[in-house]
Amino acid sequence: MLDRGPEALQRAREHGVAIPGFTTYTLESTRAICDAGTDASLPVILQAGSSSFSGVGRSMLARAALTMAEESPSPVGVHLDHSTDLAEIRACIDLGYSSVMFDGSHRSFEENVSLTTQVVAEAHARGVWVEAELGAIAGDENASSSAVASDLTSPEAAAEFVERTGVDALAVAIGSVHGISDHPIHLDLDLLGRIAQVVSIPLVLHGASGLDDEELRVAVRRGIAKVNFNADLRRAYLGALRDTIDLAGGDDVVAAQRAAIQAMKQVAYEKLRLLAGDTSPMTEESR
Ligand SMILES: [Zn+2]
């Protein structure tokens, strides 16, 4: 079913677990992400945003995501990731998205507060929850490139930002980067702990592909309730296509689709289980 409210995220934060948000680009990735959530009996978030729209267009990708979410036996959120465009945010709210992210992280603090507040007012009036970002998460969302973390989130600014905007979830810059970096990436877990002490809403980690599992688990226990993955799924997708095309003589589309779905589903399932923990109350409740 389409999971509308932010309550699943709030419960996740209370229980020290997290819900993954996976970027979807195609029908195959949308199918794989929904099926992984069903197999794990855990909530999952489909992220169909600006970057994915540039491949096949907004309307068809968004409608496919919403349809598969509604048909799914387990809860699936449909989320607009990293939008800087109010017209795009309004279009996705009109389409029926359950949540949107307004990314004002490259603007001044005051501009980010003001625009986020406006998005929150419009979205909440339509029953849609909002993620915002403070501090800047480096790197490119669509392609793995060398990136280094910069401009980390300040706990004091985060507390003021959440208080003034009424936002539902906050993406924090604590050392992760989008894509897969050339250098080993480590999170500033001490900084995360200080942010979590003064901000009680669910915190969001972007750029988690390639992070060490144990580090991720600690971050989740310290307040990260939503974790965005993209690069890991993309690699599984294209790797499966390459292998199948070679095996099938290069013309069996359905075999390639099935292989791609299976490969992405496996990665998504493993991330779902990792973020839920094996013995957490969240897992018990969702089963
Ligand atoms: Zn991001």
How far are the Cα atoms of 12, 18, 161, 222, 285 from residue 281, in angstroms, in the given order? 9, 12, 30, 16, 6
Query: What is the 30 CA–ligand 1 centroid distance (Å)?
Result: 18
Token digits for 93? 């709210």
**Dist CA 192 CA 203 (whole Å):** 9
Query: What is the 247 CA–ligand 1 centroid distance (Å)?
Result: 35
DSSP calls for 157-182: HHHHHHHHH--SEEEE-SS--SS--S
pLDDT confidence of residue 284: 40
Global pTM value: 0.91
Query: What is the 198 CA–ligand 1 centroid distance (Å)?
Result: 23
Query: What is the residue-level pLDDT of the chain in tens, covering all 287 positions?
Result: 999 989 999 999 999 999 999 999 999 999 999 999 999 999 999 999 888 999 999 999 999 999 999 999 999 999 999 999 999 999 999 999 999 999 999 999 999 999 999 999 999 999 999 999 998 776 666 554 444 455 899 999 999 999 999 999 999 999 888 876 677 788 999 999 999 999 999 999 998 887 899 999 999 999 999 999 999 999 999 999 998 888 867 788 999 999 999 999 999 999 999 999 854 444 444 43
Of 7, 10, 37, nearest to 21 (Cα)? 37
Query: What is the 99 CA–ligand 1 centroid distance (Å)?
Result: 15
- Containing 14, the helix (H) or strand (E) segment is helix 7-15
**Dist CA 193 CA 176 (whole Å):** 15
CB crowding 218-232: b at 16 or more within 10 Å, else e: ebbbbbbbbbbbbbb
Count Cα atoms within 13 angstroms, Cβ side, for 112. Answer: 22
Could you give phi then psi for residue 220, rounded to 5 degrees? -65, -40
Does residue 62 sit in helix, strand or coil? helix
3-state helix, strand, coil in the chain (%, to 5): 50, 15, 35
CB atoms within 10 A of CB 2: 19
Active site residues: 81
Query: What is the 97 CA–ligand 1 centroid distance (Å)?
Result: 18
**Dist CA 173 CA 196 (whole Å):** 13
Query: What is the 123 CA–ligand 1 centroid distance (Å)?
Result: 20
CB atoms within 10 A of CB 110: 9
Cβ neighbors of 122 (< 8 A, separation 6 or more) are: 89, 90, 93
Contact 89, 82 (CB under 8 A): no
Query: What is the 78 CA–ligand 1 centroid distance (Å)?
Result: 15
